[in-house]
Amino acid sequence: TRAMSAAPADADARDHVEITGSALSLDAAYEFVRSPRAGAVVTFVGTTRDEFQGKRVDRLEYECYAPMAVKKMRELCGLMRGRWEVENIHIAHRTGTVAVGESSVIIAVSSAHRVASLEATRWCIDELKATVPIWKKEFFEGGEVWKENETQRREIRPPEAVG
Amino acid sequence: VRLVPLAMPAVTVLYFARAREATGGLVEETFDVVDTDELRVALVKQHPGLETVLRSAVLAVNQEYCVETTALRERDEVAVIPPISGG
């Protein structure tokens, strides 16, 4: 199911945030963010690995509190714009089964110059993992376990101020 | 003396991930409670399996994380949020 990408009235049209049960498209992310004003496009793709601590992983299953996740993802976009000169932002996260090799999250950012999108993309995935209400269950050889990200925050930590 | 409203606010509680498993698969439930402390007690009473989950879970009220005890009002939406693992 595709959910919660409709933007509130005051949302920035240059931001696209999405939670979807369908396979993610890197092409779609790139097409959304690329712009004549951008000299750089940065993409981050998170994919399911085939191994964790020596055990073979079969798949991950993702679950999401969609309305709050979208809200948090929009906050991430706003904070990115406050700190960096970026053009367009695309954040998409998948729910349901994500098999080995498939992507669970795609973040794409464009900017006139490369430093902005490189730094913004890195900050974005770090904060997404720390604050957006999404869970993954890992199905491995011999069992299954709910994963917990290393950093958990109740508030998004804004990027450091310039200078 | 603690004043309690005659009609306790009915809030909707959403269960996710490990919390959902602890309720036997129930994803949504209504409780009549005045704040999140009272809710935590009521949750464990209703679903003893939630006690362990609640030790590491945070609550969100109307899609904002609670950082302290939060008063609840009629039709508030509270989510039980175990440690997250997006990305």
Q: In the prediction, which pLDDT does A9 show?
A: 74
| Closest to A67 measured CA to CA, from A148, A8, A130, A147 | A8
Contact B84 A67 (CB under 8 A): no
Q: Angle CA(A57)–CA(A62)–CA(A64) in degrees, nearest 5?
A: 160
Judge whether residue B38 has pLDDT over 60: yes
- Tokens 């490369």, located at residue: A114
How far is A160 from chain B, CA to nearest CA, in Å? 22
Contact B60 A64 (CB under 8 A): no
- Tokens 């957006």, located at residue: A132
pLDDT digits (tens, 9 = 90+) for A19-70: 999 999 999 999 999 999 999 999 999 999 999 989 999 999 999 999 999 9
Q: In the prediction, which pLDDT does A7 show?
A: 73
B11 touches chain A (CB under 8 A): no
A-chain residues near B86 (CB < 8 A): 62, 64, 69, 93, 105, 128-129, 132-136, 149
State mean pLDDT over A136-143. 95
Q: From edge to edge, which strands make up the β-sheet containing B28-32?
A: B28-32, B10-15, B77-81, B58-61, B64-65
Report which of residues A33 and B9 the model is more confident about: A33
Encoded amino acid at A94, one letter: R
Would you call A64 exposed, middle or buried from its count of C-beta atoms within 10 A (0-12, 13-18, 19+)? buried
Report which of residues A6 and B20 the model is more confident about: B20
How far is A151 from chain B, CA to nearest CA, in Å? 9
Report which of residues A117 and A10 the model is more confident about: A117
Q: Which two tokens stand for residue A123?
A: 């900050």
Q: Which of residues 45-64 of A touch B (CB under 8 A)?
A: 46, 62-64
Neighbours of A149 (CB within 10 A): 20
Residue B4 pLDDT class (50, 70, 90 cuts): low
What CA–CA distance (Å, rounded) separates A58 from A49?
9
Complex-level ipTM:
0.92
Residue A17 pLDDT class (50, 70, 90 cuts): very high
pLDDT digits (tens, 9 = 90+) for A58-107: 999 999 999 999 999 999 999 999 999 999 999 999 999 999 999 999 99
Q: In the prediction, which pLDDT does A70 show?
A: 98
Q: In the prediction, which pLDDT does A156 show?
A: 95
